[in-house]
């Protein structure tokens, strides 16, 4: 056995050179120190940014789908409130007993015409008694449509069972163009006796426009029902209303009703005989048993990563070629440059893209150094582009927060711009208090969302033009807790919950919702409660006329130590004296 081993070693010794040329060593070292770290770092950067882009795509798709679902919810709620208002009028005038009674004809006609004029989304309205006789308003062309007549008939039969009704989506001609519509019906009853039905044909054109607006950059959004039938698709020529979409995997996830259905999910879309890898998100609209779907090809979602990987590979090839050429020509002069390259490469691998190779030379060594710097410049540019993309995503996040805050303020005409102003004042107070930058940012977002809980407050109370009763005020006092409940599932916003939930607390323990005292109230809430009170005092409300800034400040100072933190109140006076804080009623951008 030993003899066989010795013979093998002898043969290997003959094949291998006795001395390895320095050129080979230098080339090996060059490749190891310059190219391999770049490739490894590029691979790591690619992997990390793939994860970041996937997260950003998930946030984008979830933001878009949830925003559209919320718009549908508010749209449906608005229509139901308009119908409920008409039904209350019928009850108050006793016309509900027989809407076909001639004595109610004129007043009922004015009421229906007024509702149609006031509600741009209602194309046709009919109010009938139990014998299906009554009055209609709106576009007569819509009322004569066969599908509308059939769906109103379905609605009447459903109303006879004392149930509300909504149809699927179909197309009708209105104003010389085709619009997607839906029929809704509400029963009329006195006690348990069926009296008739209020039927409405509402336009969903706003939803089609919203889907077209959000379908950009490769992203496509559409809406389907519980049967997998298409409600609305942004491109009418591609898919039509009512088309079966259950062959799409993301739609099947919605139909299956799995727990993971609300997450962004990868799936394969078969289109024109080709398999396309996609990312998709679906969010349900429970009131209508619909789902808002968003999908985007993976190739477009990760385009930046693929480009970076391809470019990094090309740079690697160029680096290898240059290293071989430079090492072959300048073997004896590469020892020192190799050390410089090694040090610089390690610095770049750690993320220091400001480092450059400084080797002044007219030979290939200088060329190699210049090329290495070009590669570093390119990598630095890519990193900056990725940072810019992250900043744009952050701006999208802030834009979504501002949009939500504006939507909350729009529920009450007296609070328009309120959230924006409170956020601006809160930031000024926080900066005056010299709070850390990250704490100022949290206060800014929390102040923008401090009234998000008002989404869950009945508009009858929220928009009441007079003072609230004790019972109504108790309901209104629930909005901080409702707001915290809404925000809590969003992981990135959990740190902002104290400002949302506790901005109506008081240092003396007389605030709500928990009656916290003194140090139990976090700084975030103390800042927002002063800013909130300042804006409430200096803007017109149903129960008061806007105060002058000086008057409001004195009233706030009068209860410092009881309701407000004296330190925050002092910061308010300091900010006003310096001119940092001025009343700006129209200020909503923060």
pLDDT tens sequence across 211-234? 888 888 788 899 998 888 888 888
**Confidence bin at 425 (pLDDT 50/70/90):** very high
pLDDT of 423 higher than 70: yes
pLDDT of 431 higher than 70: yes
Average pLDDT, the chain: 79
76-90, 352-366, 569-583: segment of lowest average pLDDT: 352-366
Paired residues of 182 in beta bridges: 202
pLDDT of 271 higher than 50: yes
pLDDT of 74 higher than 90: no
**Strands, E, within 114-207: which ranges?**
122-129, 134-138, 165-166, 170-174, 177-190, 193-203
Of 291-305, 385-399, 525-539, where does the model show the most confidence? Answer: 525-539
C-alpha span between 402 and 95 (Å, rounded): 44
pLDDT of residue 335: 59
* Nearest residue to 77 via CA among 293, 229, 288: 288
- Average pLDDT rounded to a whole number, residues 70-85: 86
pLDDT of 393 higher than 60: no
Segment 344-353, tens digit of pLDDT: 777 666 666 6
- Average pLDDT rounded to a whole number, residues 421-427: 92
pLDDT of 195 higher than 80: yes
pLDDT of residue 253: 84
**Confidence bin at 434 (pLDDT 50/70/90):** very high
**Confidence bin at 105 (pLDDT 50/70/90):** confident
pLDDT of 277 higher than 90: no
Q: Which domains does the chain have, with CATH numbers?
A: 19-55+303-390 (no CATH), 411-578 (1.10.3210.10)
pLDDT of residue 586: 45
* Nearest residue to 182 via CA among 67, 112, 285: 285
pLDDT of residue 79: 84
**Confidence bin at 204 (pLDDT 50/70/90):** confident
288 versus 338: the higher-pLDDT residue is 288
pLDDT of residue 400: 63
pLDDT of residue 110: 87
pLDDT of residue 577: 92
**Confidence bin at 410 (pLDDT 50/70/90):** low
DSSP state of 547: P
Q: Contacts for 335-339 with beta carbons within 8 Å, 24 or more apart?
A: 335/26, 337/365, 337/368, 337/369, 338/26, 338/29, 338/30, 338/33
Percent of the chain whose predicted confidence (pLDDT) is above 90? 17
pLDDT of 259 higher than 50: no
**Confidence bin at 267 (pLDDT 50/70/90):** confident
Of 221-230, 404-413, 540-549, where does the model show the most confidence? Answer: 221-230
Segment 298-331, tens digit of pLDDT: 877 766 666 666 766 676 677 667 666 665 665 5
C-alpha span between 372 and 90 (Å, rounded): 81
pLDDT of residue 170: 87
**Confidence bin at 392 (pLDDT 50/70/90):** low
Alpha carbon 332 to its chain's center: 60
The residue written with tokens 């391999």 in the block is: 36
Buried b / exposed e across 435-449, counting CB within 10 Å, b at 16+? Answer: beeeebebbbbbbbb
pLDDT of 404 higher than 80: no
pLDDT of residue 138: 86
Sheet containing 230-232, strands listed edge to edge, beginning at the edge strand earlier in sequence: 230-232, 220-225, 290-297, 274-285, 265-271
266: enclosing H helix or E strand: strand 265-271
Helix, strand, or coil (residue 275): strand
Helix, strand, or coil (residue 444): helix
Contact (Cβ atoms closer than 8 angstroms) between residue 82 and residue 74: no
338 versus 118: the higher-pLDDT residue is 118
**Confidence bin at 427 (pLDDT 50/70/90):** very high
Count CB neighbours of 38 within 10 A. Answer: 21
**Confidence bin at 568 (pLDDT 50/70/90):** very high
pLDDT of residue 587: 42
Paired residues of 50 in beta bridges: none
Contact (Cβ atoms closer than 8 angstroms) between residue 92 and residue 165: no
Structure tokens at 345: 């490469």
């Amino acid at each position: 056995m030993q003899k066989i081993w010795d013979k093998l070693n002898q043969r290997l010794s003959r094949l291998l050179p006795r001395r390895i040329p320095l050129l080979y060593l230098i080339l090996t070292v060059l490749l190891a120190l310059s190219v391999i770290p770049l490739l490894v770092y590029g691979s790591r950067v690619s992997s990390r940014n793939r994860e970041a882009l996937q997260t950003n795509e998930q946030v984008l798709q979830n933001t878009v789908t949830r925003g559209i679902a919320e718009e549908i919810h508010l749209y449906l709620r608005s229509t139901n409130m308009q119908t409920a208002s008409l039904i209350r009028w019928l009850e108050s005038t006793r016309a509900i007993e027989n809407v076909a009674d001639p004595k109610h004809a004129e007043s009922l006609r004015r009421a229906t015409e007024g509702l149609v004029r006031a509600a741009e989304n209602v194309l046709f309205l009919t109010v009938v008694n139990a014998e299906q006789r009554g009055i209609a308003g709106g576009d007569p062309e819509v009322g004569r449509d066969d599908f509308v007549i059939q769906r109103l008939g379905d609605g009447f039969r459903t109303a006879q069972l004392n149930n509300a009704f909504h149809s699927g989506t179909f197309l009708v001609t209105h104003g010389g163009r085709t619009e997607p519509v839906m029929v809704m019906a509400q029963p009329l009853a006195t006690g348990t006796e069926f009296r008739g039905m209020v039927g409405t044909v509402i336009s969903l054109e706003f939803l089609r426009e919203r889907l077209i607006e959000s379908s950009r950059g490769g992203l496509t959004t559409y809406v389907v029902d519980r049967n997998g039938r298409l409600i609305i698709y942004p491109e009418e020529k591609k898919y039509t209303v009512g088309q079966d979409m259950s062959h799409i995997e993301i739609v099947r996830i919605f139909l299956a009703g799995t727990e993971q259905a609300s997450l962004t999910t990868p799936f394969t879309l078969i289109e024109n005989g080709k398999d396309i890898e996609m990312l998709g998100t679906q969010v349900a609209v429970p009131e209508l048993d619909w789902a808002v779907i968003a999908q985007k090809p993976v190739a477009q979602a990760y385009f930046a990563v693929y480009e970076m990987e391809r470019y990094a590979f090309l740079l690697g090839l160029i680096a290898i070629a240059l290293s071989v050429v430079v090492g072959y020509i300048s073997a004896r002069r590469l020892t020192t440059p190799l050390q410089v390259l090694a040090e610089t490469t390690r610095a770049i691998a750690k993320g220091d893209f400001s480092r450059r190779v400084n080797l002044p030379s007219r030979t290939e060594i200088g060329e190699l150094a210049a090329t290495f710097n070009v590669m570093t410049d390119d990598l630095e540019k890519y990193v900056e582009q990725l940072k810019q993309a992250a900043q744009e995503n952050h701006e999208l996040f802030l834009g979504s927060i501002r949009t939500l805050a504006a939507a909350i303020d729009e529920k009450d005409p007296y609070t328009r711009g309120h959230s924006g102003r409170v956020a601006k004042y809160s930031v000024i107070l926080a900066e005056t208090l010299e709070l850390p930058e990250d704490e100022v940012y949290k206060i800014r977002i929390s102040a923008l969302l401090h009234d998000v809980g008002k989404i869950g407050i009945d508009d009858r109370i929220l928009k009441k033009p007079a003072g609230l009763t004790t019972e109504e005020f108790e309901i209104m006092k629930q909005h901080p807790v409702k707001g915290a409940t809404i925000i809590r599932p969003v992981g990135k916003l959990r740190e902002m919950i104290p400002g949302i939930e506790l901005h109506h607390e008081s240092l003396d323990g007389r605030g709500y919702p928990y009656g916290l005292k003194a140090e139990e109230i976090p700084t975030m809430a103390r800042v927002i409660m002063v800013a909130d009170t300042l804006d409430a005092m200096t803007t017109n409300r149903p129960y008061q006329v806007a105060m002058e800034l000086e008057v409001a400040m004195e009233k706030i100072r009068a209860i410092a130590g009881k309701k407000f933190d004296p330190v925050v109140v002092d910061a308010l006076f300091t900010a006003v004296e310096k001119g940092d804080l001025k009343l700006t009623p129209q200020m909503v951008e923060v």
